Amino acid sequence: MDGDSSTTDASQLGITGEYMASGHYVLQSQDDDAEENLNDHEEGGVKENYREQDIYLPIANVARIMKNAVPQTGKIAKDAKECVQECVSEFISFITSEASERCHQEKRKTINGEDILFAMSTLGFDMYVEPLKLYLQKFREAMKGDKGIAGVTGAESLGEDLTDDTFTNPLPAGIITADGQQQNVMVYTTTYQQIPTVQQIQFS
Amino acid sequence: MAATVATPVSEESSQQQTGPTAAVTHSRLSKLPLARIKALMKTDPDVSLASQESVFIIAKATELFVEMIAKDALVYAQQGKRKTLQRKDLDNAIEAIDEFAFLEGKPCQA
- Per-residue pLDDT, averaged over B15-36, amounts to 61
Which residues, listed in sequence order, are joined to residue A111 by a DSSP beta bridge?
B50
| Whether A96 contacts B58, CB under 8 Å | yes
pLDDT in tens, A141-200: 888 877 664 444 444 434 444 444 445 445 555 444 444 555 555 555 555 555 555 555
Of A79, A83, A142, the CB nearest to B29: A142
**For residue B69, is it within any domain?**
yes
Q: How far is A170 from chain B (nearest CA, A)?
A: 20
Residue of A nearest to B4 (CA): A58
Closest residue in B to A126 (Cα) is B99
Within a domain: B22: no
In SS3 terms, B20-41 reads as HHHHHHHHHHCCCCHHHHHHHH
Measured in angstroms, the CA of B85 and the nearest CA of chain A are apart by 5
Q: Which residues of A touch B63 (CB under 8 A)?
A: 65
How does residue A44 score in pLDDT terms, banded at 50, 70 and 90? Answer: very low
Q: How confident is the model over A23-35, as a mean pLDDT? A: 45
* pLDDT reported for residue B32: 87
pLDDT at A193: 55
Residue B93 belongs to a domain: yes
Give domain status of residue B99, yes or no: yes
β A181-184/A175-178 pair status: antiparallel
CA distance B42 to A158: 30
- Residue B108: per-residue pLDDT: 53
CA A58 to each of CA A89, A91, A190, B44: distance values in angstroms, whole numbers, following the listed order: 11, 15, 32, 20
Q: Is the pLDDT of residue A139 over 90?
A: no
Report the predicted TM-score, pTM, of the whole model to 2 decimal places: 0.58
Looking at the structure of chain B, the number of domains it has is 1
Residue range of the domain that includes B42:
29-103
What's the confidence (pLDDT) of residue B60?
92
In a domain, B24, yes or no: no
Q: How confident is the model at residue A45 (pLDDT cuts 50, 70, 90)?
A: very low
The average pLDDT across B78-95 equals: 92
| B44: CATH | 1.10.20.10
In a domain, B109, yes or no: no
Which chain B residues are within 8 Å of A142, Cβ to Cβ?
Answer: 22, 25-26, 29
Q: Least CB-CB distance to A50: which of B43, B68, B100?
A: B43
- Comparing alpha-carbon positions, the chain B residue that sits nearest to A68 is B67
Does residue B52 lie within any of the structural domains?
A: yes
- Long-range contacts of the stretch A102-108 (C-beta < 8 A, 24+): A104/B46
Does B83 reside within a domain?
A: yes
Are A70 and B70 a contacting pair at CB < 8 A? yes
Taking an 8 Å cut-off on Cβ atoms, the answer to whether A111 and B49 are in contact is: yes
* pLDDT > 70? residue A21: no
Average pLDDT for chain A: 68
Query: Given an 8 Å threshold on Cβ–Cβ distance, is A83 in contact with B87?
Result: yes
Interchain proximity B3–A54, CB inside 8 Å? yes
